[in-house]
Structure 1
Amino acid sequence: MASSKDKNNGMSQVTYEFPYMRQPEKKSLGKFIYDKEKGTFMSRTPSSWAKILIFYAIFYTVLAALFAICLQVLFYTLTYEYPKWQLDRSLIGTNPGVGFRPISDDTTQGSLIWYKASDTESIRPWTKLLDDYLAPYRNKSLLPGGGKNQVICDYDSPARPGHVCAVEVSTWGECTSENGYSFNKSSPCIFVKLNRIFNWVPEYYDDVNDLPEDMPEDLKEHINNVPAKERKQVWISCQGEHPSDREAIGPVKYIPQRGMAAYYYPFTNIPGYLSPLIAVQLERPKLNRVINIECRAWAKNIQYQGGRERTGSVHLELMID
């Protein structure tokens, strides 16, 4: 950088030996948008803008075409009839979860069932939840094809190909909508189910000499009294989670039976399939206290773990005022 004097006015003028050291000329916003001298819009000529627009139009068109081709290839490998990745190869895995109904729509209430037996308004939300959930079980017209492919099964006659085994609502006794699911009698029915896993087949505890040590004694006795061919079931046990809860829960009744029969498995996504249910009726639970309950599924290939990382079981609380 060097300085020189203007001969006319004697003022110093700064000159730059290297052009890159020259400070850029400040432009107004209007001149930046449109510069008449250079004929540019936002520092680019119309031809430059046209080239950029054409480039990006071609670039994103090709990108969208490649994305569409990839999606088409992916969809070609998928089907609505069965998942591509199954059992050990899937994210779901091979250990089915256990669920129960009714469960409140209010997430802040968690797994608590709380009502006043003498108050119809207190009972109604719970019975409505069960009515809504059990509607396809009671009304076959709600199923695909009107449930025409449902058949009555037993251990000697499983469902034919393309058919599914019906869940017989008529065997639920007091655990029906007409009886209010016995909520008003302080002996509520809670429905327990296994979550569906495509193509999963249970490994049954059907040998009375090979039952796990931690299995409840009353369940062991029950299995011992069941005919050998009917022991192929996923057994269910519900009991108080802690000693005080076991004292408070009272007698437990399982309707229509204490297990989910083998002829309901595997689940293969045939239209009209309904998950088997067990109605667990708590006949005389203590009132005015919270009872912690654990319902557990028993099969050789159902892994169990309690606590926060719960598997193979479900936790719920019951309080009846």
Structure 2
Amino acid sequence: MSRLMIGVGVGVVAVVLLIAVLVPVLLLTGGEDIGIAVLPATSIVVNNKKDLSKYVEPLNKLHEEYMKKTTENADVYSVCQPSQTKLDDKHCIFKMAWLQATCKMENDWGYEANHSQPCVILRPSKVVWVSCEGEAEEDKKNIGEMTVSPWHGFPLYYFPYQPSPHYLQPLIGLSFSKLPSGVEVSVLCRIWTVDTDPDKNPLRFNIKVD
């Protein structure tokens, strides 16, 4: 897990976990071109007076999908090593436990249990490195502190995407704290690959905690 300090905000703590998944997904701006989808939405408004299940349920389905695959078919997975590029007879595992902060089902993904810590998740289908920041200068000031888990990018052994029921795409969690209450923050994520201009099709999402 790595930490990126971006400015200083005031107010409540919010966690955003970006995840692209095989359950119903919403593609971000540019995501369709570079193979990245996001849950639970590209525009999140968290208010404890509103029903937040629309954010929690898609993330629960994602968690259940990964846990079911790795539990019922444990013999087809392996914890891969950096020196590996791919496995001929097994799939590289991705453990949900590698995601940090409130990006966990037992914490209601930061929505129900603590509405000031929402979680969003990102899942790519090709090798990428992701760097995120506030889109405009005002967003940079308000974005607060960001923690990335488990990595900014992914080892080669997870790719290319495999049309197998056992294949698990890796996930990135972005946890934001110190987001100011009542202020919408626009986040821009650049996607780095060997054949993609990171400024051509950046991902964007908005987060607001009331």
- Same structural fold, with TM-score higher than 0.5 when normalized by the shorter chain: yes
Counterpart in 1 of 2:152? 258
Counterpart in 1 of 2:12? none
Counterpart in 1 of 2:68? 139
For residue 192 of structure 1, give the secondary structure of its aligned residue in structure 2.
strand
Counterpart in 1 of 2:35? 97
Counterpart in 2 of 1:164? 91
Aligned counterpart in structure 1 of residue 134 of structure 2, from 226, 240, 262: 240
The reply on whether 1:191 has 2:121 as its aligned counterpart is yes
The reply on whether 1:130 has 2:24 as its aligned counterpart is no
The reply on whether 1:182 has 2:116 as its aligned counterpart is no
| Structure 1 position 277, deviation (Å) | 0.5
Q: TM-score with structure 1 length normalisation?
A: 0.49
Q: 1:284 to 1:187 in 2, by over 3 A?
A: farther
Partners of 2:194 and 2:70 in 1: how far apart?
A: 36
Structure 2's unaligned 5+ residue stretches are 1-32
Partners of 2:199 and 2:152 in 1: how far apart?
A: 21
Greater fraction of residues in helix: 1
Aligned counterpart in structure 2 of residue 152 of structure 1, from 71, 79, 82: 79
Q: 1:283 to 1:270 in 2, by over 3 A?
A: same
Counterpart in 2 of 1:113? 44
The reply on whether 1:303 has 2:197 as its aligned counterpart is yes
| Structure 1 position 141, deviation (Å) | 6.8
Greater relative contact order, per chain length (Cα 8 Å cut-off, separation 6+): 2
Greater fraction of residues in strand: 2
Partners of 1:185 and 1:246 in 2: how far apart?
A: 22
Partners of 1:303 and 1:149 in 2: how far apart?
A: 36
Q: 1:185 to 1:256 in 2, by over 3 A?
A: farther
Q: 1:298 to 1:246 in 2, by over 3 A?
A: same
What is the root-mean-square deviation in Å for CA atoms of aligned residues?
Answer: 2.5
For residues 53-111 of structure 1, the C-alpha deviation after alignment (integer angstroms, 9 at most, x for no partner) is xxxxxxxxxxxxxxxxxxxxxxxxxxxxxxxxxxxxxxxxxx523322112xxxxxxx2
Structure 1's unaligned 5+ residue stretches are 1-94, 104-110, 203-233
For residues 132-157 of structure 1, the C-alpha deviation after alignment (integer angstroms, 9 at most, x for no partner) is 23321122279xx7464121112134
Counterpart in 1 of 2:10? none
How many equivalent residue pairs?
176
Q: TM-score with structure 2 length normalisation?
A: 0.73
> Do the aligned residues in 1 keep the contact of 2:131 with 2:189 (CA within 8 Å)?
yes
Partners of 2:76 and 2:186 in 1: how far apart?
A: 40
| Structure 1 position 285, deviation (Å) | 1.4
Is the radius of gyration larger for structure 1 or structure 2?
A: 1
For residue 285 of structure 1, give the secondary structure of its aligned residue in structure 2.
coil
For residues 197-226 of structure 1, the C-alpha deviation after alignment (integer angstroms, 9 at most, x for no partner) is xxx6x4xxxxxxxxxxxxxxxxxxxxxxxx
